Amino acid sequence: MMYKKRSSSPAEASNSSFTKCRRRQGQSSMSSRSAASSSPANTGLWMSKSSGRSSLQNMAKGCRPPLLTKPALFCSLCLFLISMKRPALIFLLLTLTGFLRGQIPDSTLLPLIIIDTRGRDIPDEPRITADMAIIDHEGYKRPGDRPDAYEGQISIEMRGESSLHLYDKKSYSIETQNPDGSNNNVALLGLPKENDWVLYAPYGDKSLMRNVISYRLFEQMGHYAPRTRFAELIINGDYKGLYVLTEKIKRDKRRVNIMKPQPAGNDRNGITGGYLLRVDKLSKMPDEAWWESTVDPPIGGFSRTVFQFFDPEYDELNTRQKDYIIDYLFQFESAFAGPGFKDPVHGYRSYLDVASFIDLMILNEIAKDVDGFRLSHYFYKQHLVNGAKLVQGPPWDYNLSFGNSDYSPDIHETYNWTYSYRNTIFWWARAMQDPWFQNQLHCRWDELYEETLSKDRMMELIDSIRSPLDGAIERNFERWPILGIYIWPNYYVGESHAQEEEWLRSWILQRLSWIDQEWGGQCRPSSTALIDKPGSLHIYPNPSTLTKTYVDLPYSDENEALILLTDLNGRQVYHKQLTRLPSGPFQLPELSALPSGIYLLQLRLSDGSSFSAKLMKE
């Protein structure tokens, strides 16, 4: 296929000169506008109350938008409408220039997000203060409608790695703020309250849907994934196209719901968790924010894992907390790389939440994500009272997935695996050397392919994502005319969005068929129990003096089991290896000499399943 390259048009050159003019005119009033916007009394987003000037008054003083053929008439209209001091008309004025430049929609069924940067460019970093309004009422939304979903201050910066430098359409990180700059937790577009958000710009992914599809799939598997909402974005009167408001990955009870290490952190209760970690590029990362594992991968060709502190960040952790999580991951990788890695008690299973490990593997293989097992990989370590396991996910950054890449061997094909690529984390390739793990994977695949990942359900999912985007797709590609043009690293280049969508659907169907040929129908039902079955142990009495304490054990076909009792410092105070599970309640030995406090009782079965419950010692 011949790829077309695009050069700047005369209209774009005009846009550039107009932008420079607006910046010059805005410099003189920037300080007064910033002061006014920082005042709690300043609720008018689009016009400074201190100066009474809008940015369109600058046009009346010589900054003319491109394609404007009658500037005198236009400026007279500007001044007339400003004199009326009606918010909707003032907002309309502010966006009219963008209408001529960026083809702002006269109406849309999607939410409208409008950002005013107070005359400043948005940098990569640091963040700048800006104002944002969101229109999201029922029915058609128009740029002149009064904001009803959000109107207030934000901080904003550009974000991304390769996309930041290679793509004209930029993604942004935003933080919703109070007028004093403090966090303002709000529910944007129906998403749970928080203050950290991403405005993701689908660009190289011309289907516009790959990220959203991936997150929805992982969510449907039963895990947290970033929630998303499509919207159309306007910045400083310039229509930016179709965006995806996305939850930023972070520790929060509504996102990655893990405990926060205690500030003091000098006891094991504060040290054990939770930690949100990442494997990703190291650009702009200080040396203190990451470390390289000292464990050599057991499979040739793989590299040592490089970990990053993510949430809490490295400068929010004390030395003992850092040492704890570094040592924990060393123990985990040592168990995984060692000769006894298949052992259900002493191998990798005692550290790993296998259910999330399998589901993330399935997602990454369906998407055949070129970065799925090596970059943008998030996982977290639970606190001791929550199981103390390493949980995989949430997923992030799938724009180069589902065949949308041409720079890695056969990555665009619908066959072969990605977990075995030699530039990835070794964990999944190692796990596939364990017959027990393979069986758990095959059983989970059969379960998901029956419903959640069936071909019909997959097409229905894409339908549900695609259907609200009519009109917005056309406007997006009018703003960014890249259809039929190679954008790194496209493998397929369609001449229309319909072709891009059809190719994506066909690729997914073929990929599902190939995976089912490899994994389907191989489940051995006798050992389908996964690690971390739902539910917990029943202990009575609880609280207890530990003179006579009983535990109701779950029914299992497995005979061998290990019972562990640990304190919140992680010290083992009792353990017993069982050659067979009792038919009735299990009685703990007399342990009344133990200090008062909270303990964790765990039952580990030989098939890798794990159950736990907290026990209060009076």
The pLDDT tens digits for 21-43 are 333 333 333 333 333 333 323 33
CA distance 70 to 64: 10
CA distance 116 to 237: 8
Residue 126 · residue 157 · CB < 8 Å? yes
CA 476 to chain centre: 23
For 406, the token pair is: 């041409």
Q: What is the SS3 assignment for 247?
A: strand
What is the model's pLDDT at position 431?
98
What is the model's pLDDT at position 555?
59
What is the model's pLDDT at position 583?
66
The pLDDT tens digits for 227-241 are 999 999 999 999 999
Which residue reads 């895990």 in tokens?
A: 223
Q: For the chain, which ranges sit under pLDDT 70?
A: 1-103, 263-269, 526-536, 555-559, 569, 583, 608
For 481, the token pair is: 């005319």
Nearest alpha-carbon partner for 96 in 236, 290, 286: 236
Residue 160's contacts (CB-CB under 8 Å, 6 or more residues apart) are: 167, 170, 171
What is the model's pLDDT at position 101?
53
Residue 484 burial (CB count, 10 A): 18
Residue 574 burial (CB count, 10 A): 15
Domains present along the chain, CATH in parentheses: 1-100 (no CATH), 269-526 (no CATH), 533-617 (2.60.40.1930)
Nearest alpha-carbon partner for 89 in 144, 23, 160, 41: 144
